[in-house]
């Protein structure tokens, strides 16, 4: 239920995600949410997508992000797909141990509630550990 798009800055991750988001609004039978840091996607995605600017909230770590995503779902059981652009900009980390644990939790959460997640991470894909690589 998780797909990770990983690549260095400027490799087209966000463009690929924008296309996927706009396609999802046509094909999904529920609500689509996009979480981003900053407001760069405002004019690129369909108006029916719920765009959430993460910088407006105090998301200091992955525990807070788990609570944030759980709260989004608790307020709207019709969410079918969540896109997270630039995960490591929303929650900065030192290494990938916490990111792997978060993705494992997110996968279980998605399976339990029938939600797909698509996430971008800005870094070299060859540096990703197996716990992240399994979602490519």
Per-residue pLDDT of 20-65, as tens digits, reads 999 999 999 999 999 999 998 999 999 999 999 999 998 999 999 9
Q: Which domain holds residue 61?
A: 2-124
Q: Report yes or no on 136 lying in a domain.
A: no
Number of structural domains in the chain: 1
Indicate the pTM of the whole model.
0.95
Q: Report yes or no on 130 lying in a domain.
A: no
Residue 94: the pLDDT is: 87
Would you say 36 and 51 are in contact if contact means Cβ atoms under 8 Å apart?
A: yes
CATH number of 117's domain: 3.40.50.300
Q: Report yes or no on 112 lying in a domain.
A: yes
């Amino acid at each position: 239920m998780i797909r990770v798009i990983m690549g260095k800055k400027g490799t087209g991750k966000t463009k690929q995600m924008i296309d996927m988001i706009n396609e999802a609004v046509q094909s999904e039978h529920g609500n689509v949410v996009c979480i981003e840091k900053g407001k760069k996607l405002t004019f690129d995605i369909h108006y029916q997508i719920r765009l959430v600017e993460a910088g407006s909230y105090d998301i200091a770590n992955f525990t807070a992000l788990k609570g944030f995503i759980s709260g989004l779902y608790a307020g709207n059981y019709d969410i079918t797909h969540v896109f997270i652009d630039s995960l490591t900009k929303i929650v900065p980390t030192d290494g990938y141990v916490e990111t792997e644990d978060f993705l494992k939790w997110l996968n279980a959460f998605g399976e339990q509630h029938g939600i797909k997640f698509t996430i971008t991470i800005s870094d070299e894909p060859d540096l990703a550990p197996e716990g992240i690589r399994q979602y490519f």
